Amino acid sequence: MTQKSKIWLSSPHMGGNEQTYINEAFAENWIAPLGPNVNAFEAQLEDYLTPKSYIATLSSGTAALHLALVQLGVTHGDEVLCQSFTFSASANPIIYQGAKPIFIDSEEQTWNMCPYHLEQAIKHRLEHYKKPKAIIAVHLYGMPYQVEKIHAIAEAYDIPVIEDAAEALGSTYKKQSCGTFGKFAALSFNGNKIITTSGGGALVCKTLESKLETVKYATQSRDDAPHYQHSQLGFNYRMSNICAGIGRGQMEVLDHHIAFRRQMHDFYKELFKNTDGVKVFEEPNGDYFSNHWLSAIIVNPEIAGFTREELRLKLLEENIESRPLWKPMHLQPYFKEALFFGNSVAETLFDQGLCLPSGSNLTDLDRERISNQIKLFLK
């Protein structure tokens, strides 16, 4: 029997005009990490965010987080508070700067940074060491974190927040865009994100000066001189004009992608509505608007009578990809020395959670295969 085509968790979905912008770059020989596509893509992103913000497009979301830490002066001997339940790219740039991550557990509503444990961690570090230099809070799976509570604590202790909005382009909290709450925010356009430039990212900045400073860091920190002169450490992190051409085409279909991903979320809600012990991850209330980058479920094996792993393997038989939720950073071998504040919320999410196919390019036939296989399993 030939194998059925693979249904991916989230795969690139071109809108149609990407190639046109790339062809323009070739025609005009703008094959460089600057050019008309970079400027146009940045302008589109700036207009898209509410309130309008300043954007520096970069080679990756990881590079964006790194340059945020660099500009906040994070260095050897510093500590940075970071959500534990996330992708490793949220935390790795802390290490690049020679600083230490302090991991914070999640709360159960948004699965993001728990305000209570954040404050406990700050108090502990003030008493035993010194004030942490920054807070990295993540809008995981597109779900906004508890914006008001997290930022109230950050303000009370005067610690800047870096938003990791890599998964949350198009998500909002009380109609304000994710990516505009922090001192800086990182976006990602990696291959599996809601829009892609094949690989790429951006740093959202509060002012034009801050954007220009980010671009300077990202282009080897060249001073204004006819020769090559450098007064600070530089990085080679700028986005290429080819990748930005893909980004321009993707911005034209971003809202469509979001609408479709939200439909996938409704599809799973319908599918599991009568299954005890399975909870589809959703917004806590109307203040939250998630782009539902990935739809996810929590399987409580005691009530459901099966584990998320059993469901994952059943889907795999039909060549349908699904994946456990992020493994928390404080449980990763690499970060085993790091401090952690919290209980077992993130750990339980990892044990019981599963991400399901959520791409904006899934067809009716794909949905039918997913639905049939899940129904077969539940029977």
Q: Segment 172-211, which members bind ligand PLP (CB under 6 A)?
A: 188, 190, 201
> Least distance (Å) from ligand PLP to the CB of residue 189?
7
> Least distance (Å) from ligand PLP to the CB of residue 224?
30
Shorter beta-carbon distance to ligand PLP: residue 168 or 280: 168
Residue ranges in the chain assigned as alpha helix (H) = 18-27, 36-48, 61-71, 92-96, 115-128, 147-156, 208-218, 241-251, 254-271, 301-304, 308-317, 345-352, 364-378
Please, which residues have CB within 8 angstroms of residue 353's CB and are 6 or more apart in sequence?
281, 296, 297, 298, 299, 308, 324, 325
- Using CB atoms, what's the residue nearest to ligand PLP? 61
**Region of 56-64, 67-75, 203-211, 317-325 interacting with ligand PLP (CB under 6 A):** 56-64
Distance separating alpha carbons of residues 73 and 133, to the nearest angstrom: 8
**Site membership for ligand PLP, residue 297 (CB under 6 A):** no
Shorter beta-carbon distance to ligand PLP: residue 88 or 109: 88
> Least distance (Å) from ligand PLP to the CB of residue 294?
10
Written as six digits, the tokens of 174 are 């009380």
Which DSSP state fits 348?
Answer: H
Name residue, tokens 């989230």: 10
Judged by CB under 6 A, the residue of 12, 35, 61, 179 near ligand PLP is 61
Distance separating alpha carbons of residues 100 and 308, to the nearest angstrom: 33
Q: Is the preceding omega at residue 301 within 30 degrees of 0, hence cis?
A: no
Strand-pair category, 176-177 with 353-356: unpaired
**Site membership for ligand PLP, residue 60 (CB under 6 A):** yes
Q: Which residues are annotated as catalytic? A: 193
Shorter beta-carbon distance to ligand PLP: residue 163 or 369: 163
**Site membership for ligand PLP, residue 86 (CB under 6 A):** yes
**Site membership for ligand PLP, residue 89 (CB under 6 A):** yes
What is the binding site for ligand PLP (CB under 6 A)?
Answer: 60-62, 86-87, 89-90, 138, 164, 166-167, 188, 190, 201
